[in-house]
Amino acid sequence: MRNRKVVIVGGGTAGWMTASYLRTAFGAGVDITLIESDKVNTVGVGEATFSDIRHFFQFLGLEEQDWMPACNATYKLAVRFENWRRPGHHFYHPFEQMRSVNGFPLADWWLRNGPTDRFDRDCFVMAALCDEERNPRHLDGRLIGQGFSENAEEFAGLTMSEHQGKTQFPYAYHFEAALLAKFLTKFAVDRGVRHLVGNVEDVVLNQQGDIDHVLTAEHGALHGDLFIDCTGFRGLLINKALEEPFISYSDVLPNDSAVALQVPQDMEKRGIRPCTTATAQDAGWIWTIPLYGRIGTGYVYARDYLEPEQAERVLREFVGPAAAEVEANHIRMRIGRTRNAWTRNCVAIGLSSGFVEPLESTGIFFIHHAIEQLVKYFPGPGWEPTMRTMFNDAIRHVMDGVREFLCLHYLAAARDDTQYWKDTNTRRLPDGLAERLERWQVQLPDSENVFPYYHGLPPYSYMCILLGMGGIALKPSAALALADDTAALKEFQYIRDRGSELIEALPTQYDYFTRMRPGAR
Ligand SMILES: Cc1cc2nc3c(=O)[nH]c(=O)nc-3n(C[C@H](O)[C@H](O)[C@H](O)COP(=O)(O)OP(=O)(O)OC[C@H]3O[C@@H](n4cnc5c(N)ncnc54)[C@H](O)[C@@H]3O)c2cc1C
Ligand SMILES: N[C@H](Cc1c[nH]c2cc(Cl)ccc12)C(=O)O
């Protein structure tokens, strides 16, 4: 059998992650061409990740020191939510599994007799590390334990979906999207991916309705067996040429716009917070992502409630004088998913496949997940169309599951001081969420009562949002009223002690990354 010819259209994060991964998975078994336009910009954002992305780098054979300095990358221990409950309040959604005591999650014991009003500080070590801006590694590179053994043999080679629930890696990354694309361009091209710069002007279908070739002014016709649409929100191949419908989520998630700034910062003076921050605003929220040397920031909002000029003004005020000279990037977001991400001989990956607002940094996770699924169901000899159906099911489940998790943020937020926040109490919910919420109010989320398909988020993530947002009354498990809490109290004490010990021992992120950089002492 001759090699499979794959044509990837688009050279953003999705295009280059796909090219690098497929080449690593199949070597010369696939012949890959990536074409990207020099007329159409990439979206220019996408800087925070899930911890699972480490499986991607591992698969490529890359260590942190190979790629992190090149991408001005930093560590992310959590998402910090500010002002979602009330002004001045914050809580973390950390990369740390919820502990269990006598068969009940520690959060349940906390509901029964919470030691303080900070469930996150009481239940997770990471919350203290974030508050004190600590790094998850010691200066000599040793990882804080947190029950995770970095090189555990039994987990080697697992994909991220296979790994979920086994252990929780303690951090994710922040990085500059454009620098990662540049890094992966070299990685892929060095390993034999053909890279073309040119504009796809037309997508030509054959008589059966499959894509025969894409037409470019610069390189003529590019033929392939499989076409990967990484053209971003345009969906040039999947939506425009093949007319696969896009299913909007705007009925349940109304934020459809963002304005972003890249703001240089004196990290020595300001430090590098080891988390993404999401700060609630009158008509949405602002993200702050600390990179090495600058922050990425942006206001995600709904145009039904706020004009772009106002959003930009609020964002600039929020950032302060450092933003004065910086140009704003206004983005219209297409929220939802393409009905079948794999249609005929075209697979959409990245924004062309789907997107939800970046409140939990899920965009790159969607890409990574789609690539893993594509490899799993890749059209080798003996391929059956059912495999395409299974791919599409997996993509649908991940996106619909994340949609539900995001809706929960707005539903659970206590804030209701503007029309935008008032409306979060009456907006339509995805099917099934209201019923699940009823259960979570008397029994915290667990693997039996959350969205029933793999979507990247473990039950403890739901607990964090419910307990942190503060707008929904929750009861501890009824059984706990009868139970002895000695072991739980010991666990709360352990978390306090471990936090203090680590704060003492760990460096700041600024110190750590300054030493890690090439040429540093
Ligand atoms: C406001 C916002 C914030 C985000 N924040 C995060 C985050 O923190 N974490 C996260 O995981 N994700 C985030 N994302 C999502 C993330 O940015 C994307 O998932 C990621 O950048 C992938 O984009 P892409 O490659 O699909 O598309 P793009 O970056 O838009 O790339 C499209 C590519 O297609 C090419 N192209 C288009 N038309 C043609 C043509 N006719 N011919 C040839 N080439 C063409 C372009 O030149 C470009 O190379 C965010 C997204 C938005 C909108
Ligand atoms: N697949 C998980 C998802 C996950 C677990 N904890 C968190 C915390 C935050 Cl802030 C985002 C995602 C997750 C992973 O990435 O480890």
The complex's ipTM? 0.99
Interval 198-225: pLDDT, tens: 999 999 999 999 999 999 999 999 999 9
Q: Which residue puts its alpha carbon closest to atom 16 of ligand 2?
A: 51
**CB-count burial class (<10 Å; 0-12, 13-18, 19+) for 309:** exposed
Alpha helices, H only, 76-117: 106-113
pLDDT of residue 148: 59
Q: Which residue puts its alpha carbon closest to atom 51 of ligand 1?
A: 46
Q: What whole-number distance in Å separates Cα of residue 315 and Cα of residue 283?
A: 12
pLDDT of residue 146: 59
Q: Which ligand is nearest to the CA of 163?
A: 2
The tokens describing 505, both together, are 């021992």
Question: Ligand 1 pocket: which of 351, 356, 367, 457 to mutate (most atoms <8 Å of CB)?
Answer: 351
Mean pLDDT of 7-34: 98
Looking at the predicted structure, is the pLDDT value of residue 182 above 60?
yes
Q: How far is the CA of 427 from the centre of ligand 1 (A)?
A: 29
pLDDT of residue 151: 61
Q: How far is CA 434 from CA 180, 440, 444, 468, in A?
A: 39, 10, 14, 19
pLDDT of residue 149: 60
Q: What whole-number distance in Å separates Cα of residue 236 and Cα of residue 95?
A: 36
Looking at the predicted structure, is the pLDDT value of residue 163 above 80?
no
Max CA-CA distance within the chain?
75
Which ligand 1 atom minimizes the distance to the CA of 233? 30
pLDDT of residue 153: 59
Which residues belong to the annotated binding site for 7-chloro-L-tryptophan? Answer: 76
| 185 ligand 2 Cβ < 6 A | no
Matching residue, tokens 């008397």: 442
Q: What whole-number distance in Å separates Cα of residue 491 and Cα of residue 437?
A: 28
Name all contacts of 432-438 with Cβ < 8 Å and 24+ positions apart: 432/404, 433/404, 433/407, 433/408, 437/408, 437/411, 437/472
pLDDT of residue 160: 79
Q: How confident is the model at residue 145 (pLDDT cuts 50, 70, 90)?
A: confident
Interval 22-66: pLDDT, tens: 999 999 999 999 999 999 999 999 999 999 999 999 999 999 999
Q: Which ligand is nearest to the CA of 78?
A: 2
Looking at the predicted structure, is the pLDDT value of residue 417 above 90?
yes
Report residues whose beta carbon is within 6 angstroms of any ligand 1 atom: 9-15, 35-37, 40, 42-43, 45-49, 177, 199-200, 230-232, 234, 236, 258, 260, 298, 331, 333, 350-351, 358, 361, 363-364, 367
Q: How far is the CA of 43 from the centre of ligand 1 (A)?
A: 4
Phi-psi region of 304 (alpha: psi -120 to 50; beta: other; left: phi over 0): alpha
Interval 246-302: pLDDT, tens: 999 999 999 999 999 999 999 999 999 999 999 999 999 999 999 999 999 999 999
Question: Ligand 2 pocket: which of 55, 155, 168, 277 to mutate (most atoms <8 Å of CB)?
Answer: 168
Q: Which ligand is nearest to the CA of 79?
A: 2
Q: How confident is the model at residue 520 (pLDDT cuts 50, 70, 90)?
A: low
- Rounded to the nearest integer, the mean pLDDT of the chain is 95
| 360 ligand 2 Cβ < 6 A | yes
Q: How far is the CA of 189 from the centre of ligand 1 (A)?
A: 20
Mean pLDDT of 171-196: 98
Question: What is the percentage of the chain residues whose pLDDT exceeds 90?
Answer: 93
pLDDT of residue 416: 94
Which ligand 1 atom minimizes the distance to the CA of 47? 8
Q: How confident is the model at residue 3 (pLDDT cuts 50, 70, 90)?
A: confident
pLDDT of residue 436: 98
| 93 ligand 2 Cβ < 6 A | yes
Which residues form the catalytic set? Answer: 76
Which ligand 2 atom minimizes the distance to the CA of 96? 6
Q: What SS3 state is found at 79?
A: strand
Contact between 406 and 359 under an 8 Å Cβ cutoff? The reply is yes
Mean pLDDT of 314-336: 97
Looking at the predicted structure, is the pLDDT value of residue 504 above 90?
yes
Q: Within 13 A of 418's CA, how many CA atoms are on the CB side?
A: 12
Contact between 170 and 498 under an 8 Å Cβ cutoff? The reply is no
Q: How far is the CA of 37 from the centre of ligand 2 (A)?
A: 33
pLDDT of residue 115: 77
Interval 460-494: pLDDT, tens: 999 999 999 999 999 999 999 999 999 999 999 99
Q: Which of 317, 339, 341, 343 is nearest to 328 (CA)?
A: 317
Mean pLDDT of 367-389: 97
Q: How far is the CA of 44 from the centre of ligand 1 (A)?
A: 7
Question: What is the percentage of the chain residues whose pLDDT exceeds 70?
Answer: 96
Q: How confident is the model at residue 167 (pLDDT cuts 50, 70, 90)?
A: confident
| 51 ligand 2 Cβ < 6 A | yes
**CB-count burial class (<10 Å; 0-12, 13-18, 19+) for 48:** buried
Question: Ligand 1 pocket: which of 37, 211, 303 to mutate (most atoms <8 Å of CB)?
Answer: 37
DSSP class of residue 40 equals S
